[in-house]
Amino acid sequence: MELFNILNEMEELIEGSPKIPMTRRVLVDEDRLLDYLDRIRTSLPEELRQARWIIQEREKVITDSKREALRIIEDAEKQLEKKADESVITRKAQEMAEEIQQRAEQVAQQIKQGARDYADEILEELEKRLNQLITQVQEGRSELKAMKTDN
């Protein structure tokens, strides 16, 4: 605020100084003007430091904000990527489950077919033996009948 007071005093000096007729010029006391300029220089650095500090703080806030915005964007991208990966993993797991289920069904069909084939072979073998037994029984009966008629 000292700077404004000095500037006001300079303005009063200029307004109160004698004017050169027919021009827009004034005669100013050199010593008083130089004194005002010295006072301005001594008061100016504090004002400039404050302004410089404000500018630095503003730049720091802007830089921090940009950094935070980038971090938020990176976090969002990572989360999106993670969800995409999870989606891919889920889809692959479902595909694998379907493939395993199909294989299990194929194996079950093969086992059922194998069991049927085995049962058919056993029954065929049993049929052959039963036919042999029937033939033997019939032959035995025929022999018995023949023996009855011979006696």
Task: At 6, list the tokens.
Answer: 């000095």
Residues 6+ apart with CB under 8 A from 25: 19
Percentage of the residues of the chain whose pLDDT score is greater than 70? 97
Element (H, E) at 84: helix 30-150
pLDDT band at 1 (very low <50, low <70, confident <90, very high): low
- Torsion from C-alpha of 66, 69, 71, 77, nearest 10 degrees: -140
Q: Which residues contact 9 (CB under 8 A, 6 or more apart)?
A: 36
Distances (CA, A) of 1 to 10, 11, 35, 45, 139: 15, 16, 18, 13, 140
Could you tell me the pLDDT band of residue 29, with boundaries at 50, 70 and 90?
A: very high
Domain residue limits, the chain: 2-150
Cα–Cα distances in angstroms (integers) from residue 53 to residues 47, 49, 87, 136, 137, in the given order: 10, 6, 50, 121, 122
Query: What average pLDDT is seen over the chain?
Result: 88
Tell me the pTM.
0.38
CB atoms within 10 A of CB 6: 20
User: For residue 38, what pLDDT band results from cuts at 50, 70 and 90?
Assistant: confident
List, for residues 48-102, the tens digit of each pLDDT value.
778 888 889 999 999 999 999 999 999 998 988 888 778 888 888 889 989 999 9
